[in-house]
Structure 1
Amino acid sequence: MTHPPLRSFGRIKSRPIKPRQAALFDTLMPAVRLPVPAEGRIDVGALMPGAAEVWLEIGFGGGEHLAAQAARHPDALMIGCEPFINGVASALRHIDEQGLKNVRLHDDDARAVVAALPDASLDRVMILFPDPWHKARHNKRRLIQPEFAVELARVLKPGGRLRFVTDWKDYAGWALERLIATPGFVWLADEKADWTVAPADHVVTRYEEKRLGDTDPIFLEFERRLF
């Protein structure tokens, strides 16, 4: 019997959803929900024919970063995954207010999406401030595990980029160790500023401004390469 992977995220809902956002689940969500087949692969090309690139953001929080990148890159398909219902509601509001046509959402575990994506189908993967599970006994619930890192390498195109950002020192070290050990990933860092200074296209969100971790944000950027 195959058991589902341990949850890599915490709560899926907090405060009541505002009426306007709740209404968007009925009116907008059906149009932007990512179809994830029970078997087989996602037909990425059918989601946005002619898309110049395909990006995936895992754990988009309130959707601020996802919406900002979608607005900056209207010719790119932006896939966002987030199990936290309040975050999905917020993302729907951003999509509606900005009239974004290039976003697709998955309101559940991102690992199901990655498993269903074809090989070499993504140009970028963004993982920003995932749940740190900072207690040692909970580390096994962290999103970045060796098996998932291999899957991320599989779905990225050669030359594609993976960005991992955290404000927990231990998780940064954990992720770095496992991603460096993943065949096909090369860490793009030569000096300290490469992981301590935000990339030029980074979007600061309200979550980041809260400074809930034990360090300033650490930015780990990797490139998918064939050897």
Structure 2
Amino acid sequence: MSSHSPLDNDPTAQDVNDDAPYKRIVNTFMKRRTHMNKKAEHALNHPEFARYLVNNGTGDGDLSGITDLRALFADTPNGSDAPLTLEIGFGLGDSFIEMAQAEPARNFVGIEVHEPGIGKCAYMADQHGLTNVKIINGDAIKLLQQLPENHIDRIQLYFPDPWQKKRHHKRRFVSPERMKIVTRALKSGGWFHTATDWEHYAFWMVEVLDDFEGLSNHAGRGNFTPRPDFRPMTKFEKRGIERGHGVWDLIYTKD
């Protein structure tokens, strides 16, 4: 089973300059070429979908000027003070849109580098008439670095690439270096919620996150959380469970 997001790590590395608060963070995405259907292509190329696409759905993911996610909703019915969820690597966007539909009073920002997924997600948001969704093209770590502290209520990372080979473990999203960046952007009492279908990665995440200062395991140290009702079960997840595969959820609260 694999629903892993393309927004999880790449062999290349980014060098942050010496004056930046974080140095040499391995990029958190790999752009993969896949087929783009007509609906996704239409959404990426027609102005009626621009209200969802913060920085254009195509190109190199320029994040310049995106320093406040709440401000993106200033002119929407929810306004900028509503609870805010950021999903890192939403894939094709099906579960992301389902969550936004289910919680209309909450604002949702999704960040992705996979252009067919960006287009499809914008198309679905428009089909459902959603006003609480914004989509960003780019690297989540770069985005998080330029957001204010204590900015986001929930950060979601579902089925990231597990990078199974030992020499690639440094590319896994959940690491002390990246969690420092993630936690900084979370509000006090905010959640980091992740899920994986790879057992080794699941226990890797427990080890990293249980020992990370400033986060507390929602289910208690060393424990996993049953899938919460607000996280839809994906078709990949259903298929895997039918084949006897496990799925592990973890929710951590910022102290």
For the criterion TM > 0.5, the same-fold answer is yes
- AA aligned to 2:73 is M
Whether contact under 8 Å (1:169, 1:215) holds in the other structure is no
Larger RCO: Structure 1 or Structure 2 (Cα < 8 Å, ≥ 6 residues apart)? 2
Whether contact under 8 Å (1:63, 1:87) holds in the other structure is yes
- Identify the residue that residue 73 of structure 2 maps to in structure 1: 48
* CA displacement 1:178-199 (0-9 Å, x = unmatched): 222222100011499x626311
Residue pairs, 1:156-175, within 5 angstroms: 156-175=186-205
CA distance in structure 2 between the partners assigned to 1:11 and 1:47 by the alignment:
25
Residue pairs, 1:14-33, within 5 angstroms: 14-15=34-35, 17-27=36-46, 28-33=48-53
* CA displacement 1:12-39 (0-9 Å, x = unmatched): 2212x12232011022553222357537
SS at match of 2:51: helix
* CA displacement 1:129-186 (0-9 Å, x = unmatched): 0011111111111111211101111111111111110011111112122222222100
Task: Give the stretch that moved more between structures: 194-203 or 100-109.
Answer: 194-203
CA distance in structure 2 between the partners assigned to 1:64 and 1:83 by the alignment:
16
- AA aligned to 1:203 is P
Whether contact under 8 Å (2:37, 2:116) holds in the other structure is no
Whether contact under 8 Å (1:150, 1:183) holds in the other structure is no
Are residue 95 (structure 1) and residue 125 (structure 2) matched? yes
Whether contact under 8 Å (2:39, 2:120) holds in the other structure is no
Runs of 4+ in structure 1 off by over 6 angstroms are: none
- AA aligned to 1:131 is D
Are residue 2 (structure 1) and residue 28 (structure 2) matched? no
Residue pairs, 1:1-227, within 5 angstroms: 2=15, 5-15=25-35, 17-27=36-46, 28-34=48-54, 37-38=63-64, 42-49=67-74, 50=79, 51-190=81-220, 195=224, 197-211=226-240, 215-225=245-255
CA distance in structure 2 between the partners assigned to 1:29 and 1:6 by the alignment:
32
User: Alignment RMSD, CA only?
Assistant: 2.5
Count of aligned pairs: 222
Q: Shift in Å at residue 89 of structure 1?
A: 2.2
- AA aligned to 2:39 is R
- Scaled by the length of structure 2, the TM-score of the pair is 0.78
Whether contact under 8 Å (2:63, 2:143) holds in the other structure is no
Q: Among the aligned pairs, what percent are the same residue?
A: 28
Q: Shift in Å at residue 11 of structure 1?
A: 4.3
Whether contact under 8 Å (1:68, 1:203) holds in the other structure is yes
Structure with the largest fraction of helix: 1
SS at match of 2:224: helix
SS at match of 1:32: coil
Whether contact under 8 Å (2:15, 2:25) holds in the other structure is no
- AA aligned to 1:79 is V
Task: Give the stretch that moved more between structures: 48-57 or 24-33.
Answer: 24-33
- Distance verdict in 2 for CA 1:216–1:76, change over 3 Å: same
CA distance in structure 2 between the partners assigned to 1:140 and 1:209 by the alignment:
29
- Scaled by the length of structure 1, the TM-score of the pair is 0.87
- Distance verdict in 2 for CA 1:210–1:110, change over 3 Å: farther
Task: Give the stretch that moved more between structures: 158-167 or 109-118.
Answer: 109-118
